[in-house]
A and B are shown apart, each in its own frame.
Chain A
Amino acid sequence: MSRDFGLSEFLFLVAAMRWTLLLSLIAFLGGGAAGLLVALLRTSPMVPLRWLAIGFIQLFQGTPVLMQLFLCFYGITVLFHVEIDAWPAVTIAFTLYSGAFLGEIWRGSIEAIPRAQWEAAECLALGYFHQLRLVILPQAMRISIPPTVGFLVQLIKGTSIASIIGVVELTRAGQLMTNVTFEPMLVYPAVAALYFVLCWPLSLLSQYLERRIDAALGIERRP
């Protein structure tokens, strides 16, 4: 005797969205901190620091997130000899992953600021960190917002992979629901629809912000 996929089952999925959101939020905050560091190292005047950041970015953009997850999950147990739950492992993996992507996005924004801005700041006798904080980053931040929102969509979708190592979020909840209702034809499209509800507004926001920034920078766009 199996359950039908009715309202309460659907609400179970809706409730599971909070774990997807929480995971995305933590990964975004952690990744934001890591990403800022990566972006600064990547644009630093010191060559070895730049190489370090390039290596980090290449490593995380050149390998599957799923592998990063497995390596965090098993690697931490093995290297530090502590048993680790799925949640912290997933959090660490997604922090590093989004750190690499955000770092690369923000590097682009920093490099988009004309060289003359750095030079002018230097002429005003500002040190490196003051140049960054007072002149470069405020301008770079504005450019970086649309792609950052775009990455957030990628991140929310990416957290579905956490279900593979057993974290119960939206996708895993969908699998559990399929197992009790035997109605994958209803459950998975419902799961997809819920992700869509989360991601689509962000996608639209990102496109809207991009158009506004282009307009502000005087870039013409065809309709």
Chain B
Amino acid sequence: MNYVFHFGVVWDHWRDLAGGAWLTIRLSAMAIVLGLALSIAGAYAKVNGPRPLRWLVGAYVETIRNTPFLVQIFIIYFSLPAVGLRLEANEAALAAMAINFGAYGTEIVRAGIEAVPQGQVEAARALGLTRLQTFRFVILFPAVKTVFPALASQFVLMMLGSSIVSAISAVELTAVTNTLQSTTFRAFEFYFVTTAIYLALALGFRAVLGSIYWLVFRRNRPA
């Protein structure tokens, strides 16, 4: 083996990598907020909505879950401009991530809603709460609590999947690495370090989500 590793080159470009990682973090964080909103709305519609709406949400969920993320990005970034909807690379990436997360999230949150005991729903309705109020004050909180771990791992999967948005010209961590390795010819070193950064991000996000769970659902609250 006569290949000499040069990790020094990677260190010289740490600012670029950090910039890329920061965009990955920002995209993921924004996508989870939008995606979670979509998930909750989708789950509500799927449980309470009129039949056509339920069918529509079902079609959205199945379409997204049975097609590759990469193709979804291509449709948003390359196909939509043909009908007049032109998004910038970063916007397209964010939209794709949120829409993708929303589909998986809808199913996850729906499972949580169905796990809320029926008696509580009936009690709330008997107290005169409207459907929306029942959902907002009685169902949502315990439903999200039940499925929080599943949402968290789906979120980490989405963060890792965001490396694919480098295929359009969003300059997140993977895209930055692609550029750096092609100008320095140190492909292995750069990808090795970037992989390590992703691993750290995944562990970091898991820790942050764990803390959020504890803060929101556990602290000062009997189970």
Contact = CB atoms under 8 A, between A and B. Distances in A.
Interface of A: 58-59, 62-68, 70-71, 74-75, 77-81, 153, 157-158, 160-161, 163-164, 171, 174-175, 178, 183-185, 187-189, 191-192, 195-196, 199-200, 203, 222
A75 B187 CA distance: 8
B75 interface: yes
24 contacts: A62-B156, A62-B160, A62-B202, A63-B160, A63-B198, A64-B161, A64-B163, A67-B191, A74-B191, A75-B191, A78-B188, A153-B66, A157-B66, A157-B67, A164-B167, A171-B71, A174-B74, A178-B78, A188-B75, A188-B78, A188-B79, A195-B71, A203-B66, A222-B114
Contact of A62 (B74, B194, B203): B203
B199 interface: yes
A157 B188 contact: no
Q: What 6 A-B pairs come out closest when comparing CB atoms?
A: A160-B68, A185-B82, A64-B163, A199-B66, A184-B78, A74-B187
B195 interface: yes
Interface string B39-72: 0000000000000000000000011011111111
A223 to B, nearest CB: 9
A184 B192 CA distance: 34
A75 B191 CA distance: 9
Contact of A199 (B67, B160, B161, B163): B67
B187 A67 contact: no
A195 B68 contact: yes
Given A78-B188, A184-B79, A67 B174 contact: yes
Contacts of B75: 184, 188-189, 192
Interface string B145-184: 0000000000010001111101100000010000001000
Q: Is the interface of A mostly helix, strand, loop or mixed?
A: helix
Contacts of B3: 78-79, 81
Interface of B: 1-3, 62-63, 65-72, 74-75, 78-80, 82-83, 114, 156, 160-164, 166-167, 174, 181, 187-188, 191-192, 194-195, 198-199, 202-203
Given A64-B161, A67-B174, A75-B188, A200 B2 contact: no
Q: Is the interface of B mostly helix, strand, loop or mixed?
A: helix
A174 B199 contact: no
Contacts, number: 125
B203 to A, nearest CB: 7
Nearest to B118: A222
Contacts of A191: 71, 74
B174 A192 contact: no
A178 B167 CA distance: 15
A52 B80 CA distance: 46
Identify which of B67, B83, B160, B187 gathers the most chain A CB atoms within 10 Å of its CB.
B67
Contacts of A203: 62, 65-66
Given A63-B199, A70-B187, A189-B75, A171 B70 contact: yes
B171 to A, nearest CB: 15
A192 B72 contact: yes
Given A63-B195, A199-B66, 15 more contacts: A62-B156, A62-B160, A63-B202, A71-B188, A74-B181, A74-B191, A75-B192, A158-B68, A161-B68, A184-B75, A184-B78, A184-B82, A187-B79, A189-B79, A195-B66
Contacts of A67: 163, 174, 191, 194-195, 198
A175 B191 CA distance: 25
A174 B72 CA distance: 12
A196 B67 contact: yes
A116 to B, nearest CB: 28
A163 B191 CA distance: 18
Contacts of B1: 79-81
